[in-house]
Amino acid sequence: MKIRPQNDKKDEAEGGFNMSITLNYEDVLGFINNEEIFSSAEKIKELNLKLDKGTGKGHDFLGWLYLPKNIIEDEISEIEGIAKEIRENSDLLVCVGIGGSYLGAKAVIHALSDNSFEIQFAGKNISGYELELLLKKLENKDFYINVISKSGTTTEPAIAFRFLKELAKKKYGKNYTKHIIATTDEKKGALRSFCNSEGIRNFIIPDNVGGRFSVLTPVGLLPIACAGLNIRKLISGAKRGVEKYSRQELQENISHLYAIIRNLLYTQAGKKIEVLSTFEPRLKYIIEWWKQLYGESEGKDGKGIFPAGCVFSTDLHSMGQYIQDGERILFETFLIVKNTSSIIVEEDAQNLDGLNYLKGKTLDEINFKAYEGTKNAHTDGGVPNMSIIMDKLSEENIGELIYFFEKAVAISGYLIDINPFNQPGVEAYKKNMFKLLGKPN
């Protein structure tokens, strides 16, 4: 079944509807049915009301819910001003952060940037080799550092920042502080103390917004703006998402539909793994961001769907085999973009490769048929799947998509009765690592 948002504006040029994002779930209906889906409508309304009123689990971290509408003009202008300074006075920006402190920005930049300005990401692991390569590269570059951390003591980014800060001191002397922008807690933490003592310019991470929901705060907006992207359009798309995905009627809210369908596949059809697959390589890091958002939000109390990802058609020649013929424990969500390129296959006189039958077709057309063929094959192979389809890649559509997934994961978490906004399991590896390293206390 294809769901079209009810109140989208008509596109006069096309004579139809301007559908930025749509959901097609006809290929799950052999595993669950419409009656099961829409019998959950009242439950979804109840859960949505909990979110709206802040009465559910994790209600202290609901700042993301209306964040796109609450961003103030002064903050946007300040971000744009510093981004302009960074682009005009340096060769690249190094973003230091891990998890939600970098994945959202990385996802948007990888999807939309023309690479006219270089953004490097550090502090996302503890690889000495990777950090050493970056430090060597920076020796002959002018650079700024955007260090992103609520506490300033998270091991991976704190180590990277220590090295990067020393390089900045060596390169810029007393002026090194002008090359550091912090994004941190408003009042507390080691990074806040550093900002206060050294006069470091800084942006605030809202207390009520968790890291994996923070891409539409300065955490994501500053590096995205530095990459030359229009953050106003990104925010506008997210605002559109707030309007569309706050609708109470289930048939008018594809974010809520996505949440209930994946929950039914998990609880009723026994599907434990969701594979988010795309045929557009630029969406690779959207998938990585989604994996954190869903894995960290749902995976607790012995519950939750395991989030995995594939980039097709490349992964059809590897993971595609398992999806087609492996154990029937997964379902698939396709993330599809319709219009990405106008490049056309031309006729070849010799036709040694046998491709002349594609003459006159765009690669977009061919890629879309690859998607349709894969979708049909996986359905026939016993893999329920649905498709989230964007009409094009743009700041507005990516902003809406971000909110689509954020809203859906909140509903999904409440459906399995967990707190979608904490991450207690993340601390386990840290405790063991600190003990092995001999950290005091």
Which residues are annotated as catalytic? Answer: 296, 317, 430
Half-sphere exposure at residue 80, Cβ-oriented, CA atoms within 13 angstroms: 11
Q: Strand 21-24 relative to strand 385-392: parallel, antiparallel, unpaired? A: antiparallel
Do residues 375 and 320 touch, judged by C-beta distance below 8 A?
A: no
Give every CB contact of residue 181 below 8 A, 6+ residues apart in sequence: 82, 86, 144, 145, 146, 147, 200, 201, 202, 203, 222
Instruction: Tell me the C-alpha to C-alpha distance, in Å, between residue 272 and each of 318, 332, 433.
Output: 21, 11, 30
φ and ψ at residue 385, rounded to 5 degrees: -150, 155
Structure tokens at 61: 């971290």
CA dist., res. 381 & res. 286, Å (int): 27
DSSP-derived 3-state class of residue 180: strand
Taking the CB of residue 431, how many other CB atoms lie within 10 A of it? 10
228 three-state secondary structure: coil
Q: According to DSSP H, which parts of 283-327 are helical? A: 284-298, 319-325
First to last CA, the chain: 57
Alpha-helix runs per DSSP H in 17-112: 34-38, 41-53, 67-70, 73-89, 103-112
Contacts of 271 (CB under 8 A, 6+ apart): 31, 265, 305, 329, 330, 331, 384
